[in-house]
Amino acid sequence: MREIPGVFQRRIIIGAVFCVAAFALVGIRLVDVSLMRGMGRSGFADRPITARADLVDRNGELLARDLPVKDLYARPHVFWDKNEAAHDLALATGASEDRLRAGFLNAKHPYVLIARQITPAVESKVMRLGLPGLEFEPSVKRYYPDGRNAAQILGATDPDNNGVSGLEMGLQDHIRAAQDGAPVTTSIDMRVQFILAHEIAAQRQTFSAHAAGGIVMDVRTGEVLAMASLPDFDPNARSLSGDDTMRNIMSQDVYELGSVFKIFTFAQAFEDHKMNLDEVFPIGQGYKIGKYTIHEAERMPATLAARDILAQSSNIGTSQIALRAGGVRQKQFLAHLGLLSPIKTELPEHRQPLYPANWGNIETATVAFGQGISVSPLRFVASAASIVNGGREITPTFIKTDADRRGAQLIRPDTSQKMRDLLRYVVTNGTGKNANVEGYDVGGKTGSAQVPGEHGRYIPHALRTSFFAAFPIENPRYVVFVLMDQPHGIKATGGFALAGYTAAPLAGRVISRIAPLLGVPNTAPPTQLADGNS
């Protein structure tokens, strides 16, 4: 005869049944997570998120950091009303309602991605909907505390935290290999970056320029302290609006830069002993080369000494100097300075220079004053820095370094000295007067280039203006280059938009603000107090 289970035994049996059911539910859940999700959520495979090190400026200021966020998925088969759920989730997250509805009504996919990298505020909105079947998975989102400032240098990442532009892409392996949470220290000085971007934005607005940009670089280390490119974008927004662009015109675009290129023509003439500064050249009203005639941007006297050809920026005088050596030598010299090759830095964005396929006399003349050859501003700055830094090669870098990185001797030290003296003369006695900053002995050169249009023709009355500056010119430490794309003359400049009115004063203002921050000593004479008896 079987013994009837007692109350205590029945309780044990019931408890065992509950335990088995609980373990079964856990097992089902594990299968659901490991298998069903592994099969993909509405076409989205699980993506491993790799952490990235912080990016900081040379002084330790935070530039970029991973922030914890969440990705939101849904199991639409548990929704009571799929259309209503799609509408409500779209409002809460900003996702496309049509995409969500299509995903929810597709029975083939048990999971649908709603939105990636949602913030706590968005998560709170979603939770208030009270919908079943929602799942939040930990993720990260790259955050840039300075927003637009230095956006094109830093670049951006995609939803999987992979760099897609700028240093985020160029330094990808370095950023991911950083150990123990150590940041990656860039060469950027955000104090200088802010000043450069602020002054360029103000000047761009004043002269209604299509675009504008600038670079500040150490001529000994090659460190780029600042680089601005306008229009820019907000890397935190993850989308572009208005005239926003991720394009960095300083490294990614090539331009005919005009008369700043005369720096190289004069450096070559010094190297080849083809000219002395007191030599007088005929200028006239035009200079014929075959069927072509070289003209001046402004009215010039009948003759000019060589030093004044650069100071007053004479195209005719510069053409004559270049033709003394000829096109073969000119091409060889520019290649020697790196101007016929793209500049390679930690930035992935770069462009191949454009130059004449047939390099005859007319090409030699126009290249001498910066027309008919196009280079990126960063490529130009690197080569021009070699002219003033003692004549040694320098490659720009966006990584902080304390080392003097000057390399091979490209031109003789005495040629570099002569060019520094001549560039100072341009600022004191020539077209660069508006860049003069008392006490900092600025040297530099203006550039006003015609803008190429369709079918190889130049756009009437359109200019691209620039200014290259080095300071203190007797022993340069820093160079500043600024560019304005198609500025328009204003009443204060008499309607003129040449570089002397647009780019030169911009460079001067940048130098006056950054020089004290960079510890450049001011050599201005002390202020004389008025004598009380006078």
pLDDT at res. 270: 98
Q: What CATH number is associated with residue 106?
A: 3.90.1310.10
Q: Quick check: 126 and 89 in contact, CB under 8 A?
A: yes
CB 227 within 8 A of CB 153: yes
Q: Is residue 6 part of a domain?
A: no
| pLDDT at res. 454 | 83
Is the same domain home to 370 and 431?
Answer: yes
Tokens of 426: 């341009």
Q: Which of 133, 139, 99 is nearest to 116 (CA)?
A: 139
How confident is the model over 489-532, as pLDDT tens digits? 999 999 999 999 999 999 999 999 999 999 999 988 776 665 54
* pLDDT tens for each residue of 388-443: 999 999 999 999 998 999 999 999 999 999 999 999 999 999 999 999 999 999 99
Relative to beta strand 62-74, strand 134-143 is antiparallel
Classify residue 47: in a domain, yes or no.
no
Residues 283 and 357 in one domain: yes
Same domain, 149 and 221: no
pLDDT of res. 391? 98
Residue 23 lies in a domain: no
List strand residue ranges (DSSP E) for 155-206, in order. Answer: 184-185
Separation of alpha carbons 327 and 338, rounded Å: 16
Q: Which residues are catalytic?
A: 259
Do 180 and 203 reside in the same domain of the chain? no
Q: What is the structure's pLDDT at 282?
A: 96
In a domain, 31, yes or no: no
* Residue 484, SS3 per DSSP: strand
- The pair of structure tokens assigned to 254 is 């090539």
Give domain status of residue 410, yes or no.
yes
Euclidean distance between CA atoms 170 and 158, whole angstroms:
14
Domain end point (choices 184, 213, 240)? 184
Residue 285 has a pLDDT of: 86
Using the 3D structure, point to which of 137, 155, 184 is the last residue of a domain. Answer: 184
Burial class for 190, CB neighbours closer than 10 Å (0-12, 13-18, 19+) = buried
Strand runs (DSSP E) across 85-147, as ranges?
112-118, 134-143
Residues 197 and 137 in one domain: no
Same domain for 208 and 113: no
User: In one letter, which amino acid is 12?
Assistant: I
Question: Do 207 and 163 have their domain in common?
Answer: no
Give the tokens for residue 278.
């007191």
Residues 261 and 306 both lie in one domain:
yes
Same domain, 309 and 419: yes
Q: Could you say which residues of the chain have pLDDT below 70?
A: 1-50, 179, 527-534
Q: What is the pLDDT of residue 43?
A: 43
Single out the residue in 152, 184, 216 at which a domain terminates. Answer: 184
Q: How many domains does the chain contain in total?
A: 2
CATH number for the domain that contains residue 226: 3.40.710.10
**143 is a domain residue:** yes
Block residue for tokens 């966020």: 69
The candidate with the shortest Cα–Cα distance to 293, out of 227, 361, 383, 231, is 361
340 inside domain? yes
Same domain (yes/no): 398, 325: yes
Verify that 245 and 127 share a domain, yes or no: no
Q: Evaluate whether residue 46 is within a structural domain.
A: no
Judgement on whether residues 255 and 236 belong to the same structural domain of the protein: yes
DSSP string, 99-114: HHHHHHT-TT-S-EEE
- For residue 127, the enclosing domain spans 55-184
